[in-house]
């Protein structure tokens, strides 16, 4: 429906000429989109949400064919995608994202006369979004990166994931039509296809920031390109994560059945293809948990992988892990050969090792395996748990299962454990499982590298908008030249923090 999209079909890669046109259109549209009031932008986001909801049946049908994911999961994902758009619309109406700070002139300022300074957040400019393989809606064409960048006031160039081309094209058509119908400036959204086009876009000076969800090698290669530009740009990559879970001995004894069922459900969910899949489970040596987990995992039927390429990566990586000395196979998952769609299915493979072997072969075993497998580590002491956690790369999540009523010694032990865990992650989950990331303001879907390439940011929840904003200050501006958000009269009614004159005299004295 868009001018650009008419000339693309899902098998063709975006040409240089097409990309040039897309980027020019994004630059041309940036000011108009920035100039829309937050309320206007919110209306556009809600229109997108409504359009996706209206097309849920056809979207789910196509995505089901392409990804093999079950209908209920796909319906839930379309719903999540719409809700994300609505959530950002609410943020726009609340206005907190503008982070307006006003320092009134202060002739008695402690370092000499202070000018009138007013700061707020403005969009960074056109954002390049690389869609993910494993969420054909929520992290794809109209997913959280697109929604947060559009909300921030940035045009979006969306590099489609080749794993679900028809779903992407259909979503892009819906987005394009809904944007036009809602009166959004032409050029604020376009989809491009092909690795080469994605790389060229990332290198192009017209692109101001990029977001990515995917593998460590792919994400790192793109991060390196973004960082090596003549003018480097922020690259928000959400890459790989082992998501370890620690079962304390108290918890293992109290809730064997719950924990076993919860873990098997979480690591096999979506054929183990979630960035928050718990890939490493630390259980006390001799616990009945291990046998029960193996029983339950053996019952999980084979599930189709998202793409033939991901299946191939899983097979090869699993071979490497199984071959490590000291790793036992508790459940030997089967591969069901590909059918017509060319993509095989796998039932879960469960592996077991101990702390010594794990640390000896850390470079193989402490890496994520994308697919239905996990390693259970039987630990002999809490000291071993500390050592394993402190050897981990950064992770999106660390999960801890605690006893219901810890005694003083157990609480002390837990505090030590949580301290080590917190240093390696962006989210600590208690007595639950990391899959099923809540879309909500306090969420943090982030963490130290390689969980992400930008430790201070989240890609889920309302704070995801911050990735695409930058501050600008106006000094001594005449009122009529100030943005409305910064004018004394506050015609847009945005929340602001104002510092009057005379507050600096006592700085540092308050508590002393």
Within positions 204 to 263, which residues make up the interface with a second copy, using CB under 8 A? 223-224, 227-228, 231-232, 234
Name the strands in the sheet holding 244-247, side by side, starting at the edge strand that comes first in the sequence.
Answer: 328-331, 349-354, 373-379, 280-284, 244-247, 398-401
User: Token digits for 342?
Assistant: 């060319």
Binding residue for a second copy, selected from 301, 441, 493, 495, defined by CB under 8 A: 441
- Would you count residue 337 as binding a second copy (CB under 8 A)? no
CA triple 314-220-323, angle to 5 deg: 30
CA dihedral 33, 39, 41, 43 (to 10 degrees): -140
- Would you count residue 5 as binding a second copy (CB under 8 A)? no
Burial class (CB in 10 A: 0-12, 13-18, 19+), 96: middle
Binding residue for a second copy, selected from 432, 493, 495, 502, defined by CB under 8 A: 432
Q: What are phi and psi of 436, to 5 degrees?
A: 80, 70
For residues 388 to 427, the per-residue mask of contacts with a second copy, x marking binding by CB under 8 A and - elsewhere, is: -----xx-------x---x----x--xx--xx--xx-xxx
CB distance 189 to 213 below 8 Å: no
Active-site option among 77, 238, 378, 413: 238
Which residues in the 464-503 window bind a second copy by CB under 8 A? 466, 469-478, 480-481, 497, 499
- Would you count residue 72 as binding a second copy (CB under 8 A)? no
Task: Identify which of residues 197 and 465 has a Cβ nearer to a second copy in the complex.
Answer: 465
Active-site option among 275, 368, 378, 413: 275
- Would you count residue 336 as binding a second copy (CB under 8 A)? no
For residues 448 to 467, the per-residue mask of contacts with a second copy, x marking binding by CB under 8 A and - elsewhere, is: xxx--xxxx-x----x--x-
Tally of CB atoms within 10 A around 200: 18
In the chain, the N- to C-terminal Cα span, in Å, equals 65
CA dihedral 374, 398, 368, 144 (to 10 degrees): 120
Q: Which region, judged by CB under 8 A, interacts with a second copy, from 42-50, 277-285, 317-325, 376-384?
A: 42-50
- Would you count residue 54 as binding a second copy (CB under 8 A)? no
By DSSP bridging, strand 496-499 and strand 328-331 are unpaired
257 flagged as catalytic: no
Shortest distance, CB of residue 311 to a second copy, whole angstroms?
A: 29
- Would you count residue 365 as binding a second copy (CB under 8 A)? no
- Total residue count of the chain as it appears in this document: 512
C-alpha distances out from residue 136 to 26, 188, 192, 307, Å: 24, 21, 16, 12
Shortest distance, CB of residue 19 to a second copy, whole angstroms?
A: 22
275 flagged as catalytic: yes
Binding residue for a second copy, selected from 68, 73, 109, 254, defined by CB under 8 A: 109
Shortest distance, CB of residue 479 to a second copy, whole angstroms?
A: 11
Tally of CB atoms within 10 A around 493: 10
Binding residue for a second copy, selected from 21, 73, 75, 119, defined by CB under 8 A: 119
- By CB under 8 A, the count of residues binding a second copy is 98
d(CA 430, CA 246): 10
Catalytic residues: 238, 275
């Amino acid at each position: 429906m868009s001018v650009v999209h008419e000339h693309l079909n899902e098998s063709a890669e975006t040409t240089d000429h097409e990309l040039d046109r897309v980027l020019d259109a994004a630059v041309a549209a940036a000011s108009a989109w920035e100039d829309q009031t937050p309320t206007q932008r919110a209306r556009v986001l809600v229109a997108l949400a409504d359009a996706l909801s209206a097309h849920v049946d056809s979207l789910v049908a196509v995505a089901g064919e392409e990804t093999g994911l079950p209908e209920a999961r796909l319906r839930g994902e379309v719903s999540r995608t719409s809700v994300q758009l609505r959530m950002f619309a609410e943020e726009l109406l609340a206005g907190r994202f503008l982070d307006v700070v006003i320092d009134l002139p202060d002739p008695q300022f402690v370092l000499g006369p202070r000018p009138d300074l007013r700061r707020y957040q403005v969009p960074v400019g056109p954002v390049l979004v690389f869609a993910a393989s494993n969420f054909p809606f929520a992290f794809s064409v109209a997913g959280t990166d697109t929604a947060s960048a559009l909300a921030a006031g940035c045009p979006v160039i969306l590099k489609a994931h080749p794993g679900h081309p028809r779903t992407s094209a259909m979503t892009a058509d819906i987005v394009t039509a809904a944007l036009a119908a809602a009166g959004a400036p032409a050029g604020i959204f376009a989809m491009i296809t092909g690795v080469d086009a994605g790389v060229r876009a990332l290198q192009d000076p017209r692109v101001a920031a990029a977001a990515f969800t995917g593998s460590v090698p792919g994400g790192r290669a793109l991060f390196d390109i973004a960082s090596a530009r003549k003018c480097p740009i922020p690259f928000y990559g959400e890459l790989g994560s082992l998501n370890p879970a620690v079962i304390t001995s108290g918890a293992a004894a109290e809730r064997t059945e719950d924990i076993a069922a919860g873990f098997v459900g979480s690591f096999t969910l979506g054929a183990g293809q979630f960035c928050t899949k718990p890939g490493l489970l630390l259980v006390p040596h001799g616990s009945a948990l291990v046998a029960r987990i193996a029983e339950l995992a053996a019952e999980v039927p084979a599930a189709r992988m998202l793409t033939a390429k991901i299946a191939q990566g899983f097979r090869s990586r699993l071979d490497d892990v199984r071959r490590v000395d000291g790793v036992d196979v508790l459940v030997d998952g089967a591969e069901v050969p590909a059918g017509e769609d060319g993509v095989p299915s796998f039932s879960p493979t469960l592996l077991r090792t101990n702390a010594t072997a794990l640390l000896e072969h850390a470079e193989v075993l402490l890496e994520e395996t994308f697919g239905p497998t996990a390693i259970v580590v039987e630990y002999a002491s809490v000291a071993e748990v500390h050592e394993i956690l402190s050897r981990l790369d950064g992770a999106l999540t660390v999960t801890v299962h605690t006893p219901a009523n810890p005694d003083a010694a157990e609480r002390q032990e837990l505090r030590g454990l949580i301290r080590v865990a917190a240093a390696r992650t962006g989210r600590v989950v208690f007595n639950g499982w990391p899959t099923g990331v809540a879309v909500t303001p306090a969420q943090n879907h982030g963490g130290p590298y390689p969980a992400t390439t930008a430790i201070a940011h989240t890609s889920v929840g309302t704070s995801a908008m911050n990735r695409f904003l930058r501050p600008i200050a106006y000094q001594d501006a005449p009122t009529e030249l100030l943005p409305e958000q910064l004018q004394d009269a506050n015609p847009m009614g945005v929340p602001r923090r104002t510092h009057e004159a005379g507050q600096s005299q006592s700085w540092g004295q308050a508590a002393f």
